[in-house]
Amino acid sequence: DRILDTHWLYCRDKQLIARLDTTATGRRLTCGSQLCLLDQSEAYSAHEIDDALKLSLPSDNITILFETIKPTSDQAPAGRYRCDALDSEIEVSDHVLVFHGPLGASEHYALQCYEGDIATIDMPRALDFAPPGQITLAFDAAGAALGCWSFQKLRFERVQ
């Protein structure tokens, strides 16, 4: 299907970024590795409310309220952030993120930035289940919270 229109959406509560594509056959919401064909399935329902989209997944007892967000060319707040629970750190510089943990440093992940100090990285790999597809980072003065479809609000405190 050819994409006619694209909007980016963000759920502050769950810290998830989603892409809403409109095609000739309907709307398609992609959130991490999850794909919802909004007009073609009874497994979920989506209702637009002003500049927001309310997605309900009744079988999973989940409701997500997404607000419109815009990509930006701004950089994510540079620095080093630590998560004691994981004994790991993330290092952010320019438009790049690197994980540092017990197994060493990861590859360099490109950051896509959005308004409001929000960024995402594509995560195509996983250890024990389907890859998350995309991880969202929400930065604030004290650090950053990471979230994806399978976990939300994993806290990293700024150390540098």
pLDDT of residue 36: 79
> Which of 115, 139, 95 minimizes the C-alpha distance to 8?
115
Whether 139 contacts 76, CB under 8 Å = yes
Q: What pLDDT is recorded for position 130?
A: 65
Pairing of strands 109-110, 96-101: antiparallel
Per-residue pLDDT of the chain (160 residues; tens, 9 = 90+): 799 999 999 999 888 899 999 998 888 888 877 777 877 777 777 888 888 889 888 887 888 899 999 999 999 999 999 999 999 999 999 899 999 999 999 999 999 999 999 999 988 766 666 666 788 999 999 999 998 877 778 899 999 8
pLDDT value for 114 = 95
- Residue 59: the pLDDT is 80
Position 129 scores a pLDDT of: 64
Rg of the chain taking only CA atoms, in angstroms = 16
The whole-number pLDDT of residue 104 equals 94
Residue 99: per-residue pLDDT: 93
- What does the alpha-carbon distance between residue 10 and residue 44 come to, in Å, rounded to a whole number? 18
